[in-house]
Structure 1
Amino acid sequence: MKVNLPISERQIEGELIKTCSGRELRDELGVTKDYTTWAKAQIKRARLVENRDYLLTQEGEQLPSGTKWRSEYHFSIDAGKHIAMMSGTQRGSEVRDYFLDCEKKAKGIPSVKDPQIAAVIFALTRVDAVEQEQKRQAEELAKIAENVAVIEARTQPENKHFTVMGYANLIGMSVDTRTAATLGKRCASLSRQKGLVIGDVKDPRFGNVHSYHESVLQEIIPMGAKKAA
């Protein structure tokens, strides 16, 4: 069955973005659930960001009893592709292909009848989309890592205990995970020699991570960093 999903342009954060109606997208996917509930579920599931991946508006319908307002979600083409693929249905694949065709037309990519050439063009387009998604995910992970590093640097400040990566971040030094593990072993050894307590800190990425007294970190990290450099 042919996909009939109008594409329009809307201003999102000052940029003109091609979007589709969330209500019409739901209908094309053959979903019968309550629209607002369904839309919110897709946003959460795909981790979509308002005013970047979608726009939420309040639109009124004039009735004899007065104006009835309802929420309308307008998804970007990329967001629409994510939602279509997450449906896990044949119809979802058809809707995804429809969005890809829309992107090709927008970029001026000609329609090719030869199936082999079309397959090559599709593959190249898909690779570009995957690279863009990986770049977006890498940026998000970098932000998360930065936030975690700030939290680490403030761990147990009352007794001057920090994790290796937390202390390195505090003094403006870049330490990767592998180097941090090596420095941690040295910090643990020196802490035992001095009879200092080795703490435990919960880390969302690695589970429990040891923390060491500031005096130990001051001795170990500068030396380890010089060797790493």
Structure 2
Amino acid sequence: MTVNITIHPRQIGSDLIPTISGRELHAELRIGKDFTSWVKAQIKRGRLIENRDFVKLTQKGELSATGQIQSEYHFTLEAGKHIGMMSGTDRGFELREYFLECERRAKSAILPAVHDPRTAALIDALVRQDALEQEQARQATELARLQENVAVIEARTQPENKHFTVLGYSNLIGRPVDARMAANLGRKCAALSRDKGLVIGDVRDPRFGTVHSYHESILQEVLQTT
């Protein structure tokens, strides 16, 4: 597959990111529509964000056929892959595979053997981008696991002796409260439990450490007065 798209590292935000020319992408996708209308439509359709997914550069002294100042758009590889997929054409899928192959080659390159500064900068940017994506995936997995653990704790803390955390019981009866309100209610539950001589339990919560649980009768009384 022959592709005439050059990858250039460009500053996007505070990072040096590998980018591709929007005009070259437009040409490779073999779009009949004029570039300016097409690129604006892709940005809107793909919900792409300036200075995150692309940069817009004004070409000083250059005018379009209509006499307007001409602008250039440079997209990240991720945005380029997204635009290619949105085209729904075989060529769009081919370009996606091309960008993926560029990323694989850059990431497998041996940095000390790269002497061209621009190529070295591109490889470094790709490696850092890959590390960021892996960390985001790890955090998403960890968050899902944490939320699953919290759901178990909050829905059914100590059912055998009818003890629940404030957050767990409030969710159970369909009156959820935030952490600050739960802390205030917890103090009331603790005081009332001591007055009535009822046991205050301890439960491990992955967000807050050890939290107290209270008998259902205490929770009912306190939450009814709020």
Relative to the length of structure 2, the TM-score reads: 0.51
Asked if the contact 1:187/1:220 (under 8 Å) is kept, the reply is no
Asked if the contact 1:60/1:67 (under 8 Å) is kept, the reply is no
**Residue ranges of structure 2 left out of the alignment (5+ in a row):** 111-128, 157-164, 191-199, 211-226
How many residue pairs end up in the alignment? 164
Q: Deviations over 1:65-94 (max 9, x none)?
A: 997313322011222122222333211111
* Cα 1:181–1:72 shift into 2, 3 Å: farther
Q: Which has the higher contact order (CA 8 A, sep 6+)?
A: 2
**Residue ranges of structure 1 left out of the alignment (5+ in a row):** 111-128, 144-164, 166-174, 192-197, 200-209
Name the aligned partner's letter for residue 226 of structure 1: V
Name the aligned partner's letter for residue 154 of structure 2: A
Aligned counterpart in structure 2 of residue 226 of structure 1, from 192, 196, 203:
203
After superposing on structure 2, the runs of 4+ consecutive aligned residues of structure 1 that deviate more than 6 Å are: 64-67, 137-143
Measured after TM superposition, the shift of residue 59 of structure 1 is: 1.8
Aligned counterpart in structure 2 of residue 177 of structure 1, from 151, 154, 166:
151
Q: Deviations over 1:129-174 (max 9, x none)?
A: 999646446769999xxxxxxxxxxxxxxxxxxxxx9xxxxxxxxx
* Cα 1:176–1:17 shift into 2, 3 Å: same
SS of the equivalent of 1:97 reads: helix
Q: How does 1:176-195 map to 2 (within 5 A)?
A: 176-182=150-156, 183=165, 184=167, 186-187=169-170
* Cα 1:100–1:186 shift into 2, 3 Å: closer
Name the aligned partner's letter for residue 178 of structure 1: V
Name the aligned partner's letter for residue 75 of structure 1: F
The CA RMSD measured in Å over matched residues stands at: 4.6
Measured after TM superposition, the shift of residue 185 of structure 1 is: 5.5
2:18 equivalent in structure 1: 18
CA distance in 2, matches of 1:52, 1:92: 22
Measured after TM superposition, the shift of residue 25 of structure 1 is: 1.0
Q: Deviations over 1:88-125 (max 9, x none)?
A: 32111111122123224434559xxxxxxxxxxxxxxx
Q: How does 1:1-229 map to 2 (within 5 A)?
A: 2-62=2-62, 68-109=68-109, 133=133, 135-136=135-136, 176-182=150-156, 183=165, 184=167, 186-187=169-170, 210-211=176-177, 216-218=185-187, 226-228=203-205, 229=210
SS of the equivalent of 1:2 reads: coil
SS of the equivalent of 1:31 reads: coil
Q: Deviations over 1:22-47 (max 9, x none)?
A: 12212312333454444344345544
* Cα 1:217–1:42 shift into 2, 3 Å: farther
Name the aligned partner's letter for residue 84 of structure 2: A
CA distance in 2, matches of 1:64, 1:71: 9
CA distance in 2, matches of 1:64, 1:86: 27
* Cα 1:12–1:94 shift into 2, 3 Å: same
SS of the equivalent of 1:32 reads: coil
Asked if the contact 2:155/2:171 (under 8 Å) is kept, the reply is no
Name the aligned partner's letter for residue 181 of structure 1: A
CA distance in 1, matches of 2:36, 2:65: 23
SS of the equivalent of 1:9 reads: strand
Relative to the length of structure 1, the TM-score reads: 0.50
* Cα 1:65–1:135 shift into 2, 3 Å: closer
